[in-house]
Amino acid sequence: MKNSLLFIVLFSSALFSQQLKPIDTSDFIQRKILIENFKNEFENFNHKISKEYSGRIKRELIDIYEFSQEEFIHNIEKKEFVFDTRFTDYVAELERKIKSQPNNSGLSDFKILVSKSNNPNAFCMPGGILVINIGLFRFFDNEAQLLSVICHELGHKQLKHPENTVLSKVTLNNSDALKARVRSIEKSKAGQNDEAFSLLKHILYSEGGKRRMEEQAADSLGYLLYKKAGPTNSNYLDALYRLKEFDSIPSISISKEDYQTLFDLPDQKFKEDWLQVEDFSKYNYDFYKEKISKDSLKTHPEIDARILKLKNDFSELDVAFDSVPKIDTTSSFYQLKLLAKQEVITNYIEKGEYGKGIYVNIKRLLETPKNNYLKSQLGQNFLLLYEAKKQYTFNKFVEYVTPEMEDESYIRFLSFLWNLNLAEIKIISEYYLQN
Ligand SMILES: [Zn+2]
């Protein structure tokens, strides 16, 4: 993790040396047009399914697709996607670049959307909507790495993995489990839900062995696409090497003294007890297992296997990883990277991940203590905590400390949030909103 720590430090100083226009969220017209287009496309897609299948299979396929399409539209309405023209123009240009390559029949009908999720990940929906997370801009060094991920997802699309996986679930007749899943998604709509399309993602990512084979197939086909569309001096594997370094917990550190600095207020003295870390033995490990297993790319053991397979199949990829990031500060990608970093707190908060959002908020305020924007943002975010605590929904927005957590700074931080009572949260919020 040392490399990525250095990397983040380098970039945070670059970030504050220039002010970028915040991401434009007044995108009502664009969203409306897009929703109309998608509704038409979904109708055509469902129509094709109805013609191709019959009986129970057809009914269940249509059920799943209609449910996830609704969920998808709802996510657009909820502003889960970025429609700022700096991003939309950029991805439109990437789309054009890939579509204009010769000999890639079938690659004329995909559309890239940028989601506000901070995790460096991407997802291909049945029908060819490719969602790339803003976290890819934040985490990656350059466009070539982003292009690797896009080509990999297009590999899935070309091989019809999303459609086939949904079909195999339905033919296996485990629809009871699916229905239970649908109910649980409906219940847990609010709060920590990083899955833009939770049901589909659940279906697509839940199969171990088959999924690994599909990953490797998408890697190989993706590489062939990348060779045409990517820059000649770049390495397709760089993105995978970088993703191995990803940690879903922000790589920052906040000391005990830092809390004293920020939370010893005129109306409320700092309390040592706030930093008391709870006794892990109180927790029931099994209860958290499911949550943990869903976590992050970092724990994907298959990344190593994927790298090895690609090196085996394509000897030109069998070169040592150059750990010095290839960063071009004059590129459009770099501008979007800065923008993605600037929006990181807002995106966490909007995604219901208050803990991570406030963690980064605190760190940035410590780095630039006179930044009034960060102060009022902290006040605003503590107001959200206050509301959540008042409504008994705190656990939906702030993670529990779990026995497997290793990051001492993050454990202390989460404990701090959990240890504060309603009145204390309110005083902190008011202080930072007024100062
Ligand atoms: Zn994949």
Distance from the first to the final alpha carbon of the chain = 36
Distance 363 CA to ligand 1 centre (A): 33
Banded model confidence at residue 347, pLDDT cuts 50, 70, 90: very high
One domain for residues 184 and 267: no
Q: How far apart are CA 231 and CA 236, in angstroms?
A: 10
Distance 12 CA to ligand 1 centre (A): 30
Q: How far is CA 405 from the centre of its chain?
A: 20
What pLDDT, on a 0 to 100 scale, did the predictor assign at position 282?
59
Q: For residue 134, what are its two tokens?
A: 């803003």
One domain for residues 283 and 156: no
What pLDDT, on a 0 to 100 scale, did the predictor assign at position 210?
75
Q: How far is CA 234 from the centre of its chain?
A: 25
- Residue 232 counted as domain residue: yes
Banded model confidence at residue 191, pLDDT cuts 50, 70, 90: very low
One domain for residues 174 and 83: yes
Weakest mean pLDDT among 102-106, 204-208, 414-418, 422-426? 204-208
In terms of pLDDT, which residue wins out, 88 or 182? 88
Distance 49 CA to ligand 1 centre (A): 24
pLDDT at 296 over 90: no
One domain for residues 313 and 421: no
In terms of pLDDT, which residue wins out, 317 or 196? 317
Distance 71 CA to ligand 1 centre (A): 21
Distance 229 CA to ligand 1 centre (A): 19
Distance 218 CA to ligand 1 centre (A): 6
pLDDT at 197 over 70: no
- Residue 329 counted as domain residue: no
Q: For residue 210, what are its two tokens?
A: 């088959």
Distance 156 CA to ligand 1 centre (A): 7
pLDDT at 3 over 60: no
Distance 26 CA to ligand 1 centre (A): 32
What pLDDT, on a 0 to 100 scale, did the predictor assign at position 22?
80
In terms of pLDDT, which residue wins out, 162 or 385? 385
- Residue 335 counted as domain residue: no
Distance 237 CA to ligand 1 centre (A): 14
| 271: Cβ contacts below 8 Å, ≥ 6 apart | none
Distance 65 CA to ligand 1 centre (A): 20
Distance 425 CA to ligand 1 centre (A): 41
Query: By residue range, what is the domain housing residue 271?
Result: 256-294+344-434
What pLDDT, on a 0 to 100 scale, did the predictor assign at position 201?
65
Distance 254 CA to ligand 1 centre (A): 35
Distance 297 CA to ligand 1 centre (A): 11
One domain for residues 210 and 68: yes
Distance 217 CA to ligand 1 centre (A): 9
- Residue 93 counted as domain residue: yes
Mean pLDDT of 332-360: 95
Distance 141 CA to ligand 1 centre (A): 20
One domain for residues 289 and 301: no
Banded model confidence at residue 2, pLDDT cuts 50, 70, 90: very low
Distance 245 CA to ligand 1 centre (A): 17
One domain for residues 244 and 375: no
DSSP letter, residue 298 = G
What pLDDT, on a 0 to 100 scale, did the predictor assign at position 166?
87
Distance 150 CA to ligand 1 centre (A): 10
DSSP string, 144-205: HHHHHHHHHHHHHHHTTHHHHHHHHHHHTT-HHHHHHHHHHHHHT-SSS---TTHHHHHHHH
DSSP letter, residue 280 = G
One domain for residues 226 and 372: no
One domain for residues 210 and 82: yes
What pLDDT, on a 0 to 100 scale, did the predictor assign at position 302?
78
pLDDT at 259 over 60: yes
One domain for residues 69 and 183: yes
Mean residue pLDDT across the chain: 85
Which range has the top average pLDDT, 9-13, 125-129, 319-323? Answer: 125-129
Banded model confidence at residue 287, pLDDT cuts 50, 70, 90: low
- What is the tens place of the pLDDT at every residue in 15-72? 444 567 888 777 788 889 999 999 999 999 999 999 999 998 899 899 889 988 998 9
One domain for residues 200 and 282: no
What pLDDT, on a 0 to 100 scale, did the predictor assign at position 204?
63
pLDDT at 265 over 60: yes
Banded model confidence at residue 366, pLDDT cuts 50, 70, 90: very high
| 171: Cβ contacts below 8 Å, ≥ 6 apart | 57
Percent of the chain with pLDDT over 70: 81
Q: How far apart are CA 201 and CA 218, in angstroms?
A: 17
Banded model confidence at residue 247, pLDDT cuts 50, 70, 90: confident
Distance 212 CA to ligand 1 centre (A): 9
- Residue 330 counted as domain residue: no
Q: How far apart are CA 429 and CA 388, in angstroms?
A: 13
Mean pLDDT of 316-320: 89
Distance 87 CA to ligand 1 centre (A): 23
- Residue 224 counted as domain residue: yes
Q: Long-range contacts for 205-213 (Cβ within 8 Å, ≥24 apart)?
A: 207/165, 210/165, 210/168, 212/302, 212/305
Which range has the top average pLDDT, 211-215, 321-325, 348-352? Answer: 348-352
- Residue 261 counted as domain residue: yes
Distance 153 CA to ligand 1 centre (A): 6
What pLDDT, on a 0 to 100 scale, did the predictor assign at position 8?
42
DSSP letter, residue 400 = P
Percent of the chain with pLDDT over 90: 56
Q: How far apart are CA 320 and CA 41, in angstroms?
A: 44
Distance 364 CA to ligand 1 centre (A): 33
What pLDDT, on a 0 to 100 scale, did the predictor assign at position 196?
43
Distance 216 CA to ligand 1 centre (A): 8
- What is the value of pTM for the model shown? 0.84
What pLDDT, on a 0 to 100 scale, did the predictor assign at position 177?
63
What pLDDT, on a 0 to 100 scale, did the predictor assign at position 50?
95
Q: For residue 29, what are its two tokens?
A: 């017209």
Distance 151 CA to ligand 1 centre (A): 10
Distance 215 CA to ligand 1 centre (A): 5
Domain count, the chain: 2
- Residue 150 counted as domain residue: yes
One domain for residues 281 and 375: yes
pLDDT at 158 over 80: yes
